[in-house]
Structure 1
């Protein structure tokens, strides 16, 4: 089922399946900011990634000596959430573990995804509660895809990314679906990164973040259109669009977790970038998306 929250600036539609954003429209001019899930290119809008981010080596891991199988980005994006509470400008979705989830992920948990509108800003907040008797290990992240408005006068190549603070960051390349850890390098994220289809020929651009607040912006000099993604204490961000199939969209993905390294042991207890949560404890994370109308 789809649910709507709105204010005088934005109207947001979110599905209970995966607690996934379906639409973010400007109340000013009706512009659709979110990619509309063309299955011939990329068939999702903005999935929630849990309890892993990225792909596991051979789509499997071991925990306490037992082998489990899990597909890329985990299972939350394909499951039905319940609505815990809703108001005009906010909504909270809840997912519990089930017998089926415990067959592939042996932890008891509650996952809450809250969306909250503040003027032209949409906040997406995650709360993970460990309901298990022992430590819980997990990753979580967002994957919003943003439409890129193009006309005969404005092309995809007219857009660029910029980051704040303006500093260099570690870039972690991918080799296939896995982190090519030995070839990570210092990337010039203190300068503009021009958008193009070929930018993603080797899959996502992955950057390691430092500090509490970072911002990644999608902008162009040819109009007032821009999107700012505010990352609150996220250790990683991925920037991605499908390749070689292409379309006028791009994803800016805040991550509290990451794909397996090529040299992974396969043990969940040793997996790089994961979060460890004590019994009864809560983990809080989130990001904001601010939207500005085009001319």
Structure 2
């Protein structure tokens, strides 16, 4: 396990999946991250690559050849290599090998970097195409946060998600696990979104951000602690498993979507897919402030 520490926070990252597993306040020992209780959801903050969400029938095609890949891709279950580390920063890398090519017929280099700066953890991802042919992929993050935060005199329904800028966002509905991008619906977030387990009875709330810098804060009026995630991504998912009464919420920056309900199965035409030309790189980042 990798440990990063400064005067305010101690962070733990597992090289398996480059997964953030703990963010703890040094003074109060408050744990912000979901601790992967298998009764609800056995992960903390998986990295989503080379797809976000689910494929129709877990299948897709490239050049008329079919491949099988399960929800959110394989990076979350692969061992990353540490390529650089200091007391407050670490970079990890995953590259293609025979096992990944059996699932995904592309060469790639995926680099994840975490950096602690005061009360903030910055996450930066780079996807590089080392080949002479185009690379098609999606990328996302899936961090889960305790609700309530450790020791808070509050329960799930005392928490709220505040989105800035305050406005009405377009929400992508999910039909089962699939995106229905043709029937986006407005979601008024001029006021905070009050948490309730039934909010997730049709899976995640998926906001269209259009790449505009957005801050999403998870907090409760009953406690001074919270988190604020800032990102400029195409989409952001808000999720907690339903009908389980799970004591956590995920705030998920996405550079991709689950297959559309009208998906053809061709990866090159998949909804929200990224196309990376030969020898080019793609960058994504977000930061979370813990208070």
- Do the two structures share a fold, i.e. TM-score over 0.5? yes
Q: Distance in 2 between matches of 1:211 and 1:269?
A: 21
Aligned positions of 1:1-295 closer than 5 A: 2-149=1-148, 153-231=153-231, 233-292=232-291
Q: Distance in 1 between matches of 2:128 and 2:176?
A: 33
**Are the structure 2 counterparts of residues 135 and 154 from structure 1 closer, same or farther at C-alpha, using a change threshold of 3 Å?**
same
Aligned length: 290
- Larger mean CA deviation between 70-79 and 124-133 belongs to 124-133
**SS of 2:39's equivalent?**
coil
**TM norm structure 1:** 0.96
- Cα deviations across residues 235-268 of structure 1 (Å, max 9, x unaligned)? 0000001111222110000000110000011101
- Larger mean CA deviation between 113-122 and 208-217 belongs to 208-217
**SS of 2:32's equivalent?**
coil
**Are the structure 2 counterparts of residues 100 and 211 from structure 1 closer, same or farther at C-alpha, using a change threshold of 3 Å?**
closer
**SS of 2:228's equivalent?**
strand
**SS of 2:30's equivalent?**
coil
Q: Distance in 1 between matches of 2:24 and 2:164?
A: 26
**SS of 1:273's equivalent?**
coil
- Cα deviations across residues 146-165 of structure 1 (Å, max 9, x unaligned)? 01226694221111111011
**TM norm structure 2:** 0.97
Runs of 4+ more than 4 Å apart: 150-153
- Cα deviations across residues 120-150 of structure 1 (Å, max 9, x unaligned)? 0001110110012200010001000001226
- Cα deviations across residues 29-58 of structure 1 (Å, max 9, x unaligned)? 001100000111100000000000000010
Q: Distance in 1 between matches of 2:153 and 2:81?
A: 44
Q: Distance in 1 between matches of 2:10 and 2:93?
A: 21
Q: Distance in 2 between matches of 1:47 and 1:134?
A: 28
- Larger mean CA deviation between 206-215 and 120-129 belongs to 206-215
**SS of 2:37's equivalent?**
coil
After TM superposition, give the deviation of residue 208 of structure 1 in Å: 0.5
**Are the structure 2 counterparts of residues 153 and 9 from structure 1 closer, same or farther at C-alpha, using a change threshold of 3 Å?**
closer
The answer to whether the 8 Å contact 2:152/2:223 transfers is no
After TM superposition, give the deviation of residue 95 of structure 1 in Å: 0.3
The answer to whether the 8 Å contact 2:255/2:272 transfers is yes
Q: Which runs of 5 or more residues in structure 1 are unaligned?
A: none
**SS of 1:100's equivalent?**
helix
